[in-house]
Structure 1
Amino acid sequence: MANEEHLALIRQGVDAWNQWRRNDPELRPDLTGANLSSVNLSLADFERVNLSQSNLKWANLSQANLKWATFSQTNLKWANLSQANLSQSNLKWTDLSQANLSQANLVLVDLSQTNLSQATFIKADLRNADLSLADLSGADLTEANLSGANLTGANLNQSNLTGADLTSANLLKAQALGTNFTQAVLTTACLKDWSINSETKFDGAICDDLESNPIESSSLEDDFAKTSTVVELSFNKGIDWQAFVRSLQDLQLVYSAQSIMIQALENHPNNGFMIRFTAPIEINTAELENQVRELYETHLAALEAEYCEKLQITPEDLADYWQQSTNLIEIVKFQATRSMNVETKQPHPDNDPILSRPFEDKAQSTVSTTVKQAITAALDAYIAPAVPGDSEG
């Protein structure tokens, strides 16, 4: 909980707070859990302040000094942090979605596993920042300095990196579907095992001395088009994840020499669900899509009969549940619950076919590391509800 004296001082306004800080510069104020939503804190001296678990939604922190501050699990959604000094602060696990961090100093900041979706970082300084596993989907990073930044496993889908400096940045296993790298500098960046598609833009990008696999030339867009094709499968009436994974296992036997990998899992309007995966360019995508659907329907029919028998529910009950469960997390929740009730040999996600290697041979896994981590996090945080038809629920 916040120190009541410190909380009373900040409520007196920024001038009173800053004067108090000047009088006792060695003190480390504690505002843990404070509700400062929509408060004007522009130019405030929050150096070394503990703001963990506090609510700063809609707060104005423009030009504030937040150096070495602690923000663990802080709500900064829609906050104005433009031109703020956040260097060397700990922002891990915070919610900065749709926040304004334009021209902010974020040098050496820990933003790992942070929600930065649709945030604005125009001309922000993110040199050597830790953005590993961060959600930057839809973020505006125009002309941001990301040199030396760690973007391992980060979600950059649909983000704008026009003119951004990514010199020596680490984008290992990053997701960059539909990302705009126009005129970005990617010199000596690590792009190993990252995911891009035909909508990813590299117009005018500088890509010298890349460390990438398998993409190595400066014409990244052309190389991707030459080596891979994207297949999208939509499920409008719900999805049985186990049936789909078994389908991919069978598919790997058919295309044993080629790499077919899941690239993205997305919810669509009206309870729809879409799975996007990449395949070598030489594969006929229409034929591949038909094969996946046929295999899926075969496995689905067998599994549904098993579910209905063991859970003592009707096919109609099961269909209703799948229709309500196209949300990815809901699918994972139900699969975890069903694993405990139907397949006792798989009580933990470590043994779940979604999370473990889906092929018993040495073939490449069809589920990306980013997807595994997202599903693992959902399972770890989940308390299972009653399964439809379960008399104990």
Structure 2
Amino acid sequence: MANEEHLAILRRGVEVWNKWRTKNRNLIPDLRDATLNNLNLSRADFSQADIRNINFREVNLTGAVFKQTNLISANFIRVVLTDIDFSEGDLRYTAFSQANLYKINFNNANLCYALFNGAVIRNTSFKQSILRKSEVNGAKFIDVNLLESNFSGTDLRNAVFRNSILRKANLTEVDISNAKFNEVDISQANLSDANLSNAIFNNVDFNGANLSGVDLSNATFMGANLTRVKLFHIDFSKVNLKGANLQEANLSGQQLKGAKFNGLNFSGANFSNANFRETDICDTNFNNADLRRADFRGIKMNDVNFKGARLDMAILDEVNCTRLNLNNTSLIRVQALGTDFSEANLTGACIEDWNINNATKFNNTICDYIYLRQNQRERRPNIGNFVFGEFTKLFQKSLETVDLIFRNGIDWDAFAYSFKKLEVENQGAQLDVQSIEKKGDGVILVRVAVAPDADKAKIHNQFMQGYEFAAKALEAQYQSRLQEKDALIAKQESQINRLFDIVEQQGSVQKALAENPRKVSNTNIINSQFAGGMVDAINVDAQQIGGNIQNNNTEDFPN
């Protein structure tokens, strides 16, 4: 309950109250649970006061100071607040629903679980404030600074943000469905796992923001800047990104099924390991983008700009690449079986170890020159340019080979097995090893000549399957042999150790003889019999000799 003395001083007017506060700086006013109706408290000093659960009903608080004030569960519903300082205050559970807030300072304030439903907030600052789990449904933020504020878990449905700043804000798990953002700075903000369904983002700056796991169903991004944003684990099938700028965006490893990227700017974006199957990317700009190991199988991408892009090890099987701009593109080890490069521009592209077949089309392909090795090495032609049609003729001839690429060396036993099996299964294919080349980094290229009408994709797949099967089987044999070898080595080591023990024993005997020179026996014992064994000693007693002795041969003994 409020301190009646403090409450009485406040009711005498702001001038009396502020003078009392000045004289009693060390005193904390207690206005808890008070109800203040129809008062003019303009410019009153409530700093550091305890006004929990206070009710300001129809009170004029223009210019009032609430710095570092305890306002937990205070009631400002439908109140007009102008030019007020709530900075660093504790406003948890405070209600501002349908309030009109103008030029308010909420910097560093704690607004967890606060209510702003339907409030109109203008020219206000929430820098570094905490609004976790607050309710802001239908609120309007106009010219508001929310720099580095924390909105995690907040209800922002139907909210309106105009000409506002949310840079570096924490918007994780926020519900922004049906909200409207116009001319808003959300750069470097964290919106991971937020719900942005049906939201509208006109001319919004998302530069460097984290949109991983976000629900973008039916959201629109007209004129939005999505440069360098993270877009992981997103369902793009219902997203409208028309008019958005996605330069340097990070979509590596994403499943893009059903996405409509036509007409978008992905210049410098990261799509490495992305799956583009069933995606519309016609008339899209991938200039200098990273598309390594991306899967484009079976899609149309007419008039796409891949100039300077990296498509190393990408899969382009049966893709319509008509009129593509592949100028200066890296196509190292790209797979383009049945791909249509008609009228595409391949000038300056690097085609090191690319995999094409007789179904790959080069009708009217534009190409002044190409590189056979990365880093612009082995230019073809060496000088000058191809005449029109020369590139196509050269590559139609080169299509009579199948390239087998091994990245970790070759098991030649497995190679021989698979190649022989391939010959049996493809009689008439005229298989012949044409060349074996070392490409560096342990990569070996084996080029196999085949008949012009052979199914090169089938031959390639059959060989690699047979090779992998044989390599695994041989590896198992190798391991078994190694185990047998290890057992044999262990046995031999045991025998060697026994020999060493015998040698050591002999050394001990020789040492004993050397130390006792009188203990030398020089007796001819050929054909002799002893009972109880031999005795080698300086003095021998008769008792030491026992048993029946019978020496039948005495020819070697003197009479």
> Normalising by the residue count of structure 2, what TM-score does the alignment of the two structures yield?
0.39
- Give deviations 1:258-290, integer Å, cap 9, x for gaps: 9xxxxxxxxxxxxxxxxxxxxxxx9xxxxxxxx
Could you tell me which residue of structure 2 aligns to residue 383 of structure 1? none
Could you tell me which residue of structure 1 aligns to residue 136 of structure 2? 136
Whole-angstrom CA distance in 1 between matches of 2:98 and 2:58 = 10
Structure 1 SS opposite 2:46: coil
- Give deviations 1:205-243, integer Å, cap 9, x for gaps: 1110011214599975799894348xxxxxxxxxxxxxx
> Partner letter of residue 103 of structure 2?
Q
> Partner letter of residue 204 of structure 2?
A
CA RMSD of aligned residues (A): 2.7
Task: List 4+ stretches of structure 1 deviating above 3 A.
Answer: 214-229
Whole-angstrom CA distance in 2 between matches of 1:197 and 1:219 = 9
Could you tell me which residue of structure 2 aligns to residue 386 of structure 1? none
Could you tell me which residue of structure 1 aligns to residue 48 of structure 2? 48
Question: CA 1:178–1:88 in structure 2 vs 1: closer, same or farther (change >3 Å)?
Answer: same
Whole-angstrom CA distance in 1 between matches of 2:51 and 2:34 = 7
Whole-angstrom CA distance in 2 between matches of 1:173 and 1:7 = 42
Could you tell me which residue of structure 2 aligns to residue 227 of structure 1? 237
CA contact (8 A) 1:210 1:216 kept: no
> Partner letter of residue 227 of structure 1?
S
CA contact (8 A) 1:58 1:77 kept: no
Could you tell me which residue of structure 1 aligns to residue 197 of structure 2? 197
Whole-angstrom CA distance in 1 between matches of 2:189 and 2:27 = 41
- 5+ unaligned residues in a row in structure 2: which ranges? 227-233, 240-256, 258-277, 279-559
> Partner letter of residue 210 of structure 2?
E
Could you tell me which residue of structure 2 aligns to residue 82 of structure 1? 82
Could you tell me which residue of structure 2 aligns to residue 156 of structure 1? 156
Could you tell me which residue of structure 1 aligns to residue 65 of structure 2? 65
Could you tell me which residue of structure 1 aligns to residue 208 of structure 2? 209
Could you tell me which residue of structure 1 aligns to residue 14 of structure 2? 14
Could you tell me which residue of structure 2 aligns to residue 309 of structure 1? none
Whole-angstrom CA distance in 2 between matches of 1:58 and 1:191 = 37
Structure 2 SS opposite 1:101: strand
Q: Percent identity?
A: 27
> Partner letter of residue 32 of structure 1?
R
CA contact (8 A) 2:21 2:45 kept: yes
CA contact (8 A) 1:59 1:76 kept: no
How many residues of Structure 1 are paired with residues of Structure 2 in the alignment? 231
Whole-angstrom CA distance in 1 between matches of 2:235 and 2:49 = 49
Q: How big is the shift at 1:50?
A: 0.8
Whole-angstrom CA distance in 2 between matches of 1:65 and 1:191 = 33
- Give deviations 1:17-70, integer Å, cap 9, x for gaps: 111111222211000011113322110011111110111133221210100111
Whole-angstrom CA distance in 2 between matches of 1:119 and 1:102 = 11
Could you tell me which residue of structure 1 aligns to residue 172 of structure 2? 172
- Give deviations 1:185-214, integer Å, cap 9, x for gaps: 01000010111122x121111110011214
- Give deviations 1:333-357, integer Å, cap 9, x for gaps: xxxxxxxxxxxxxxxxxxxxxxxxx
Q: How big is the shift at 1:82?
A: 1.6
Q: Which has the higher contact order (CA 8 A, sep 6+)?
A: 1
Structure 1 SS opposite 2:8: helix
Whole-angstrom CA distance in 2 between matches of 1:43 and 1:65 = 7
Whole-angstrom CA distance in 2 between matches of 1:147 and 1:219 = 24
CA contact (8 A) 2:193 2:215 kept: no
Could you tell me which residue of structure 2 aligns to residue 25 of structure 1? 25
Whole-angstrom CA distance in 2 between matches of 1:114 and 1:215 = 25
CA contact (8 A) 2:73 2:94 kept: yes
> Partner letter of residue 163 of structure 1?
N
Please tell me whether Structure 1 or Structure 2 has the larger radius of gyration of its CA atoms: 2
Normalized per residue, which structure has more helix?
Answer: 1
Question: CA 1:31–1:216 in structure 2 vs 1: closer, same or farther (change >3 Å)?
Answer: closer
CA contact (8 A) 2:39 2:58 kept: yes
Structure 2 SS opposite 1:202: strand
Whole-angstrom CA distance in 2 between matches of 1:139 and 1:38 = 26
> Partner letter of residue 237 of structure 2?
T
Whole-angstrom CA distance in 2 between matches of 1:192 and 1:16 = 51
> Normalising by the residue count of structure 1, what TM-score does the alignment of the two structures yield?
0.55
Whole-angstrom CA distance in 2 between matches of 1:108 and 1:22 = 25
Q: How big is the shift at 1:90?
A: 0.6
CA contact (8 A) 2:34 2:53 kept: yes
Could you tell me which residue of structure 1 aligns to residue 112 of structure 2? 112
- Higher deviation after alignment, 219-228 or 82-91: 219-228
Structure 2 SS opposite 1:7: helix
